Amino acid sequence: MKQYQRRSLIAVVSGIVVFAVCASTLLYFAAQKLGRQLARDSNYIVKHIDAAVNERSKILSHLNSLSADSCNSDNLIEMRRALFDAQYVIDIGFFKNDELVCTTGAGKLAKTIPDNPPDYIRADSNDNKPVRVRYEPQLYLLLFSDRAMEVIIVRQGNYNLIIDSRAFNDKVIVSTQWEVLYKNSDNIFHLGGVEGTYKQVKTNAFLAYESVIKCSNHNPGYCTAVQLPWSQFFANNQFLLIISLILISLAGVSSGLLIDYSLAARRSTVTRVRKGLKKGSFYWTYQPIICLHTGNVVGCEALARFEDKYGVLLPDQFIPIIRKTNLTWRFTQAMIEKVLCELTTVEALPRHFKVSINIFPCDVETGNIALLKDIPALTDSRFIICLEITEDEYLDSTVAHTHFKNLVEAGFNLSIDDFGTGYSNLKNLQNLSFHQLKIDRTFVQDITTQGLKASMIPNIMALVRKFNYTCVAEGIETNEQEAILKQAGVHYGQGWKYAKPMALREFKAYLKLQMV
């Protein structure tokens, strides 16, 4: 349960991480898109600033070059001609002695109007005459006296231009807040848009990526500050945002499920067994085989065990998988290599000490078992290698006969393991070259209760004597069981009464005590 909870937690955390990474990526690309939009808007506004300044310079330079000293018809015609071609200018006025004398819209005025002081004065690079600029949030033109207009008034020499700031306010501009301004070393002068935007942007009153300041490269001092709130940006792209969030959520859930599946697969018994053969998760324990009549240790059986970082697997769990995944021969090879390597180092083991190794019947059928006689570590061992053939698979005696005969000739002993629980029959006992028969622990455990299986032991021993086998009884746990088996003629015993399966170090210590 803890492993499942841990796996689920990892999957959930992985899904959250993927969601966070995807959301961060989405936010990054959204920021890039927002930045591009602000750049487009600011470039658009600066482009119009430059165009307006160039138009102003062209018109005023031309009119001042006429050197007109009165508002006569020729002067008005030139003024109206210049206005006709203008994009930003909506009216042109003529001054004499700082008094407005005439305009293109109203013509010659009945009463002159004194000029107001400018907000700032800047030099014109193309003309010696200074440029005087004033921002008027509400100006009533003489021709449209009932409508206030937000304008910029630019005067140079004897002429001024009325520039409508709404010329910048095009539908192309997506940003919700922008300001056009002129700045020098001391002051900032508002010329259009939302006043105060520049100061807010400069003081970082907005979030990252949602504002920008851009100044003209051609007309120093003229700048624009543009701001587009994240909320408005997301509102403008809400459909794309919803689709992206759905996809991100699906990515997070899918990755979590994928991680969960991957962890489950990694921790599945099949995967653990496969990897265990490669990474050495299998190890072998040794259970002594005792002579029932002398009490001496005459051999041991090598029993496989499994443990990896996910925990322990019991033989009942990993043996069926080894069969189903066709790993039996690889498993047998790993077992032989490890068992012989470990037991060879035990000096206390005498020559002809019997080492029992379990063999899968399927490896007999495929002929893999014939390769055992070609392994020098087995044939040259000082031990008697006893191959125990388990009964839980059908064994074709015709196929097995030749292999068993060759193995016996090579010095191996053969044993029927767990006799009476599987596919053994009299034909196999008679035709195959077995040396030993092992009585399954279920028969031994049934002895004291005088059950059906216990009643079969005398018949089993009759077969043992008939075929001149030796007999080993597994699962002996009590003195009573030992006494009954000894009386029945069983030669050897194996079970917890003598010792549990032990790792090599414990097995060495056990042998040392037995020799004292």
Integer-rounded Cα radius of gyration of the chain: 51
What strand order describes the sheet that includes 211-215?
A: 188-193, 177-183, 222-227, 211-215
pLDDT at 47: 92
Specify the DSSP class assigned to residue 38: H
Along the 516 residues of the chain, how does pLDDT read in single tens digits? 455 566 566 667 777 888 888 888 888 888 888 889 999 999 999 999 999 999 999 999 999 999 899 999 999 999 999 999 898 999 999 999 999 999 998 889 989 999 999 999 988 766 678 999 999 988 877 666 667 888 999 999 999 999 987 766 667 788 888 999 999 888 999 998 889 999 989 888 778 888 999 999 999 899 999 999 888 888 888 887 788 888 878 777 777 677 766 666 556 788 889 888 888 899 999 999 999 999 999 999 999 999 988 889 999 989 999 989 999 999 999 999 999 999 998 888 888 899 999 999 888 888 898 899 888 888 888 999 999 987 666 666 677 788 888 888 888 999 888 776 655 555 566 667 788 988 888 888 878 776 677 778 888 888 888 888 899 999 999 999 999 999 999 999 999 999 999 999 999 999 988 875
Q: Tell me how crowded residue 29 is: count the other CB atoms within 10 A of its CB.
A: 11
In the chain, which segments carry CATH 3.20.20.450? Answer: 286-300+354-515
From 106, 86, 84, select the one nearest 94 (Cα to Cα): 106
3-state secondary structure of 483: helix
pLDDT at 390: 76
How far apart are alpha carbons 508 and 349 in whole angstroms?
9
> pLDDT for 213-223, tens place per residue?
999 999 989 99
Do residues 322 and 276 touch, judged by C-beta distance below 8 A?
Answer: no
Beta-bridge partner residues of 61: none
pLDDT at 284: 94
Do residues 160 and 116 touch, judged by C-beta distance below 8 A?
Answer: no
pLDDT at 145: 64
How far apart are alpha carbons 424 and 422 in whole angstroms?
6
Q: How many CA atoms lie within 13 A of 508 on its CB side?
A: 8
From 412, 425, 421, 455, select the one nearest 439 (Cα to Cα): 421
pLDDT at 135: 92
Q: Tell me how crowded residue 250 is: count the other CB atoms within 10 A of its CB.
A: 12
> pLDDT for 229-246, tens place per residue?
888 888 888 887 788 888
pLDDT at 181: 92
Q: Tell me how crowded residue 396 is: count the other CB atoms within 10 A of its CB.
A: 11
Strands (E) in 292-362, as ranges, are: 297-308, 311-313, 354-359
Angle among Cα 384, 385, 388 to the nearest 5 degrees reads: 135
How far, in whole angstroms, is CA 165 from its chain's centroid?
A: 53
Do residues 291 and 321 touch, judged by C-beta distance below 8 A?
Answer: no
pLDDT at 335: 92
Sorted by sequence, the CB contacts under 8 Å of residue 475 that are 6+ apart come out as: 440, 441, 442, 444, 445, 494, 495, 496
Q: Which secondary structure element, helix H or strand E, spans residue 510, and what is its range?
A: helix 504-515
pLDDT at 164: 84
pLDDT at 2: 52
Domain boundaries 286-300+354-515, corresponding CATH code: 3.20.20.450
How far apart are alpha carbons 405 and 249 in whole angstroms?
66
From 213, 310, 317, 292, select the one nearest 492 (Cα to Cα): 292
Beta strand pairing call for 436-439 and 470-474 = parallel
Do residues 393 and 362 touch, judged by C-beta distance below 8 A?
Answer: yes
Specify the DSSP class assigned to residue 185: S
